[in-house]
Amino acid sequence: MGKVIDVASWKDLLAELPDLNAHREWVFRGQSDAKWTLNPSISRHFDYLRDHLGVNTIAEQDLEFYMLQNFKKTARLYTERLPNESDDLEWLALMQHYGCPTRLLDFSFSPYIALFFAVSNGTTDFSLFIIPLEALETNWEKNKAIKICKKANCKATLTESVAAFEPKLVADRQLFQQSVFLCPTSIRTPVGKCILGKEFLDEVKKIRITKTLRRDFLRELNKMNINMATLFPGLQGYCESLKTLPLYSHHSLRQFNNP
Protein backbone atom coordinates (compact mmCIF):
# COMPACT_ATOMS: atom_id res chain seq x y z
CA MET A 1 0.00 0.00 0.00
CA GLY A 2 1.82 3.09 -1.28
CA LYS A 3 5.43 3.99 -0.56
CA VAL A 4 7.49 2.88 2.43
CA ILE A 5 10.03 5.56 3.40
CA ASP A 6 12.71 5.38 6.10
CA VAL A 7 13.68 8.61 7.84
CA ALA A 8 16.71 9.19 10.03
CA SER A 9 15.88 12.51 11.70
CA TRP A 10 13.13 14.96 12.62
CA LYS A 11 14.15 17.09 9.66
CA ASP A 12 13.77 14.11 7.32
CA LEU A 13 10.28 13.48 8.68
CA LEU A 14 9.17 17.08 8.15
CA ALA A 15 10.29 16.84 4.53
CA GLU A 16 7.87 13.95 3.96
CA LEU A 17 4.79 15.63 5.48
CA PRO A 18 2.16 17.35 3.30
CA ASP A 19 2.02 21.13 3.13
CA LEU A 20 0.45 22.62 6.27
CA ASN A 21 -1.87 24.63 4.03
CA ALA A 22 -3.48 21.31 3.10
CA HIS A 23 -4.83 20.75 6.62
CA ARG A 24 -7.80 18.34 6.70
CA GLU A 25 -6.94 17.14 3.21
CA TRP A 26 -4.87 14.29 4.67
CA VAL A 27 -5.34 11.77 7.49
CA PHE A 28 -2.57 10.26 9.63
CA ARG A 29 -2.12 7.25 11.90
CA GLY A 30 0.89 6.50 14.08
CA GLN A 31 1.72 2.93 15.12
CA SER A 32 4.20 2.03 17.84
CA ASP A 33 5.54 -0.98 15.91
CA ALA A 34 6.61 -0.43 12.31
CA LYS A 35 5.79 -4.06 11.46
CA TRP A 36 2.08 -3.61 12.17
CA THR A 37 -0.38 -3.26 9.32
CA LEU A 38 -3.57 -1.19 9.41
CA ASN A 39 -5.58 -3.79 11.28
CA PRO A 40 -8.68 -2.75 13.30
CA SER A 41 -9.01 -3.80 16.93
CA ILE A 42 -11.96 -6.11 16.30
CA SER A 43 -9.93 -8.11 13.79
CA ARG A 44 -7.15 -8.54 16.35
CA HIS A 45 -9.75 -9.45 19.00
CA PHE A 46 -11.23 -12.20 16.85
CA ASP A 47 -7.74 -13.59 16.20
CA TYR A 48 -7.30 -13.66 19.99
CA LEU A 49 -10.61 -15.48 20.48
CA ARG A 50 -9.75 -18.11 17.88
CA ASP A 51 -6.41 -18.74 19.55
CA HIS A 52 -7.90 -19.12 23.03
CA LEU A 53 -10.88 -21.17 21.88
CA GLY A 54 -8.64 -23.43 19.82
CA VAL A 55 -10.74 -23.09 16.65
CA ASN A 56 -9.95 -22.05 13.09
CA THR A 57 -13.11 -20.05 12.46
CA ILE A 58 -15.69 -18.12 14.47
CA ALA A 59 -18.87 -16.32 13.40
CA GLU A 60 -17.23 -12.89 13.22
CA GLN A 61 -20.15 -11.03 11.66
CA ASP A 62 -22.64 -12.41 14.17
CA LEU A 63 -20.33 -11.69 17.11
CA GLU A 64 -19.85 -8.08 16.01
CA PHE A 65 -23.64 -7.71 15.68
CA TYR A 66 -24.26 -9.06 19.20
CA MET A 67 -21.57 -6.81 20.70
CA LEU A 68 -23.22 -3.77 19.12
CA GLN A 69 -26.75 -4.80 20.19
CA ASN A 70 -25.65 -5.43 23.78
CA PHE A 71 -23.91 -2.06 23.88
CA LYS A 72 -27.03 -0.30 22.59
CA LYS A 73 -29.11 -1.92 25.34
CA THR A 74 -26.72 -1.16 28.18
CA ALA A 75 -25.04 2.17 27.32
CA ARG A 76 -28.07 4.16 28.50
CA LEU A 77 -27.25 3.05 32.05
CA TYR A 78 -23.95 4.96 31.87
CA THR A 79 -24.58 8.00 29.67
CA GLU A 80 -27.47 10.07 28.34
CA ARG A 81 -25.63 11.24 25.21
CA LEU A 82 -26.51 8.46 22.78
CA PRO A 83 -26.73 8.31 18.96
CA ASN A 84 -29.86 7.59 16.94
CA GLU A 85 -30.75 3.92 17.18
CA SER A 86 -30.16 3.27 13.47
CA ASP A 87 -26.81 5.09 13.13
CA ASP A 88 -24.38 2.21 13.56
CA LEU A 89 -21.28 4.27 12.72
CA GLU A 90 -22.00 6.67 15.58
CA TRP A 91 -22.53 3.71 17.94
CA LEU A 92 -19.23 2.18 16.83
CA ALA A 93 -17.45 5.48 17.50
CA LEU A 94 -18.91 5.56 21.02
CA MET A 95 -17.88 1.94 21.62
CA GLN A 96 -14.37 2.70 20.37
CA HIS A 97 -14.15 5.68 22.71
CA TYR A 98 -14.79 3.46 25.73
CA GLY A 99 -12.36 0.72 24.70
CA CYS A 100 -14.57 -1.84 22.97
CA PRO A 101 -12.97 -3.54 19.93
CA THR A 102 -14.57 -2.30 16.69
CA ARG A 103 -13.86 -2.22 12.98
CA LEU A 104 -12.91 1.47 13.26
CA LEU A 105 -9.33 2.71 12.94
CA ASP A 106 -8.33 5.90 14.78
CA PHE A 107 -6.69 8.50 12.55
CA SER A 108 -6.00 12.20 13.05
CA PHE A 109 -5.99 15.27 10.85
CA SER A 110 -2.71 16.19 12.58
CA PRO A 111 0.49 14.32 11.63
CA TYR A 112 2.10 15.38 14.91
CA ILE A 113 -0.69 14.04 17.11
CA ALA A 114 -0.71 10.78 15.15
CA LEU A 115 3.05 10.57 15.53
CA PHE A 116 2.79 11.07 19.29
CA PHE A 117 0.72 7.90 19.65
CA ALA A 118 3.42 6.00 17.78
CA VAL A 119 6.38 7.35 19.70
CA SER A 120 4.94 7.46 23.23
CA ASN A 121 4.45 3.69 23.51
CA GLY A 122 6.66 0.73 22.72
CA THR A 123 10.39 0.21 22.26
CA THR A 124 10.63 -0.87 18.61
CA ASP A 125 10.89 1.00 15.32
CA PHE A 126 7.63 2.90 14.75
CA SER A 127 5.67 4.26 11.80
CA LEU A 128 3.38 7.00 10.52
CA PHE A 129 0.78 6.37 7.80
CA ILE A 130 -0.17 9.25 5.50
CA ILE A 131 -3.30 9.01 3.32
CA PRO A 132 -4.96 11.72 1.17
CA LEU A 133 -8.57 12.22 2.24
CA GLU A 134 -9.79 12.34 -1.36
CA ALA A 135 -8.65 8.72 -1.74
CA LEU A 136 -11.30 7.68 0.80
CA GLU A 137 -15.08 7.44 0.69
CA THR A 138 -16.26 10.57 2.49
CA ASN A 139 -19.89 10.78 1.34
CA TRP A 140 -21.89 10.66 4.58
CA GLU A 141 -25.02 9.27 2.89
CA LYS A 142 -23.00 6.35 1.54
CA ASN A 143 -21.35 5.87 4.92
CA LYS A 144 -24.77 5.48 6.54
CA ALA A 145 -25.26 2.40 4.36
CA ILE A 146 -22.70 0.61 6.55
CA LYS A 147 -24.87 -1.45 8.88
CA ILE A 148 -23.78 -4.06 11.40
CA CYS A 149 -26.04 -7.09 11.09
CA LYS A 150 -26.21 -10.80 11.66
CA LYS A 151 -25.13 -12.84 8.69
CA ALA A 152 -28.69 -14.09 8.26
CA ASN A 153 -30.03 -10.52 8.18
CA CYS A 154 -27.62 -9.18 5.54
CA LYS A 155 -29.38 -9.37 2.20
CA ALA A 156 -26.81 -7.42 0.21
CA THR A 157 -23.03 -7.21 0.25
CA LEU A 158 -21.55 -3.73 0.08
CA THR A 159 -18.70 -3.04 -2.30
CA GLU A 160 -15.45 -3.35 -0.36
CA SER A 161 -14.19 0.09 0.56
CA VAL A 162 -13.09 2.16 3.53
CA ALA A 163 -15.05 5.23 4.61
CA ALA A 164 -13.71 8.24 6.51
CA PHE A 165 -16.06 9.97 8.94
CA GLU A 166 -16.15 12.25 11.97
CA PRO A 167 -18.72 11.34 14.65
CA LYS A 168 -21.40 13.87 15.53
CA LEU A 169 -21.21 13.08 19.26
CA VAL A 170 -17.67 14.33 19.79
CA ALA A 171 -15.91 13.56 23.08
CA ASP A 172 -13.48 16.14 24.45
CA ARG A 173 -10.41 14.07 23.70
CA GLN A 174 -11.57 13.45 20.11
CA LEU A 175 -11.73 17.21 19.70
CA PHE A 176 -8.24 17.75 21.11
CA GLN A 177 -6.80 14.85 19.08
CA GLN A 178 -8.40 16.08 15.82
CA SER A 179 -9.81 12.58 15.42
CA VAL A 180 -11.25 11.03 12.29
CA PHE A 181 -12.20 7.38 11.84
CA LEU A 182 -11.65 4.98 8.99
CA CYS A 183 -14.34 2.32 8.73
CA PRO A 184 -14.11 -0.66 6.34
CA THR A 185 -17.36 -2.02 4.91
CA SER A 186 -16.57 -5.38 6.50
CA ILE A 187 -14.37 -6.63 9.34
CA ARG A 188 -11.90 -8.25 6.96
CA THR A 189 -11.82 -5.57 4.28
CA PRO A 190 -8.10 -4.82 3.75
CA VAL A 191 -7.58 -1.16 4.61
CA GLY A 192 -5.44 -0.98 1.48
CA LYS A 193 -8.81 -0.98 -0.29
CA CYS A 194 -9.21 2.61 0.90
CA ILE A 195 -7.37 3.74 -2.21
CA LEU A 196 -10.15 4.50 -4.65
CA GLY A 197 -7.94 5.09 -7.66
CA LYS A 198 -4.42 4.33 -8.84
CA GLU A 199 -3.73 8.06 -9.13
CA PHE A 200 -3.43 8.22 -5.32
CA LEU A 201 -0.96 5.36 -4.87
CA ASP A 202 2.14 7.57 -5.00
CA GLU A 203 0.68 9.90 -2.36
CA VAL A 204 0.03 7.20 0.24
CA LYS A 205 3.06 6.75 2.50
CA LYS A 206 4.21 4.65 5.40
CA ILE A 207 7.04 6.44 7.18
CA ARG A 208 9.31 4.12 9.18
CA ILE A 209 11.36 5.61 12.00
CA THR A 210 14.13 3.93 13.98
CA LYS A 211 13.53 3.34 17.70
CA THR A 212 16.67 5.31 18.57
CA LEU A 213 14.78 8.50 17.66
CA ARG A 214 11.93 7.96 20.11
CA ARG A 215 13.27 10.32 22.76
CA ASP A 216 14.23 13.05 20.27
CA PHE A 217 10.78 12.91 18.68
CA LEU A 218 9.04 13.02 22.06
CA ARG A 219 10.97 16.15 22.95
CA GLU A 220 10.13 17.82 19.62
CA LEU A 221 6.44 17.03 20.08
CA ASN A 222 6.48 18.28 23.67
CA LYS A 223 7.85 21.61 22.42
CA MET A 224 4.66 21.78 20.34
CA ASN A 225 2.60 21.10 23.51
CA ILE A 226 1.67 17.63 22.32
CA ASN A 227 1.74 15.23 25.26
CA MET A 228 -0.59 13.05 27.35
CA ALA A 229 -1.78 15.99 29.45
CA THR A 230 -3.02 17.97 26.44
CA LEU A 231 -4.41 15.04 24.42
CA PHE A 232 -6.23 13.42 27.35
CA PRO A 233 -7.68 16.33 29.34
CA GLY A 234 -8.23 15.65 33.00
CA LEU A 235 -6.33 14.19 35.92
CA GLN A 236 -5.70 10.83 34.25
CA GLY A 237 -3.97 12.43 31.26
CA TYR A 238 -1.88 14.64 33.55
CA CYS A 239 -0.79 11.62 35.60
CA GLU A 240 0.14 9.76 32.43
CA SER A 241 2.24 12.75 31.34
CA LEU A 242 4.30 12.60 34.55
CA LYS A 243 5.77 9.25 33.49
CA THR A 244 7.62 10.81 30.57
CA LEU A 245 8.93 13.97 32.26
CA PRO A 246 12.51 12.62 32.58
CA LEU A 247 12.65 12.10 28.80
CA TYR A 248 12.12 15.74 27.87
CA SER A 249 15.39 17.24 29.13
CA HIS A 250 19.01 16.15 29.12
CA HIS A 251 19.36 17.50 32.66
CA SER A 252 16.06 16.33 34.15
CA LEU A 253 17.34 13.19 35.85
CA ARG A 254 20.25 15.11 37.38
CA GLN A 255 17.76 17.71 38.58
CA PHE A 256 15.49 15.08 40.17
CA ASN A 257 18.43 13.35 41.83
CA ASN A 258 19.71 16.61 43.30
CA PRO A 259 16.67 18.63 44.40
Is the pLDDT at 187 greater than 90? The verdict is: no
What pLDDT band is residue 245 in, cutting at 50, 70 and 90?
Answer: confident
CA–CA distances in Å: residue 193 to residues 24, 161, 244: 21, 6, 37
Same domain, 156 and 237: no
3-state secondary structure of 2: coil
pLDDT 10s digits, 94-150: 999 889 999 999 999 999 999 999 999 889 999 999 999 888 876 655 555 667 878
CB contact at 8 A, 128 and 207: yes
Q: Is the dihedral of CA 152, 153, 155, 159 positive or negative?
A: negative
Q: Is residue 219 part of a domain?
A: no
The answer as to whether 125 is a domain residue is: yes
Q: Is the pTM of this model over 0.85?
A: yes
Confidence class for position 194, pLDDT limits 50, 70, 90: low
Give alpha helix (H) positions in 41-199.
41-53, 60-74, 88-97, 111-119, 140-143, 172-176
pLDDT reported for residue 16: 94
- Is the predicted pLDDT of residue 236 greater than 90, yes or no? no
Domain count, the chain: 2
Q: Are residues 242 and 158 in the same domain?
A: no
Residue 158: the pLDDT is 63
Residue 166 in this model has a pLDDT that exceeds 90: no
Q: Kindly state whether residues 146 and 62 are assigned to the same domain.
A: yes
Q: Give the range of the structural domain holding residue 254, as residue numbers without chain letter.
A: 227-259
**Alpha carbon separation from 238 to 135, 177, 235, 245 (Å, rounded):** 36, 15, 5, 11
Three-class DSSP category at 49: helix
**138-160 per-position pLDDT tens digit:** 665 555 566 787 877 776 556 67
pLDDT of amino acid 108 = 96
Based on C-alpha coordinates, what's the Rg of the chain?
20
pLDDT at 77: 93
DSSP type of residue 19: P
Name, in order, each residue with C-beta under 8 angstroms of 22's C-beta and a sequence gap of 6 or more.
Answer: none
In this structure, the answer to whether residues 120 and 34 fall within a common structural domain is yes
Residue 33's identity, in one-letter code, is D
35 and 132, same domain (yes or no): yes
Do 39 and 153 lie in a common domain?
A: yes
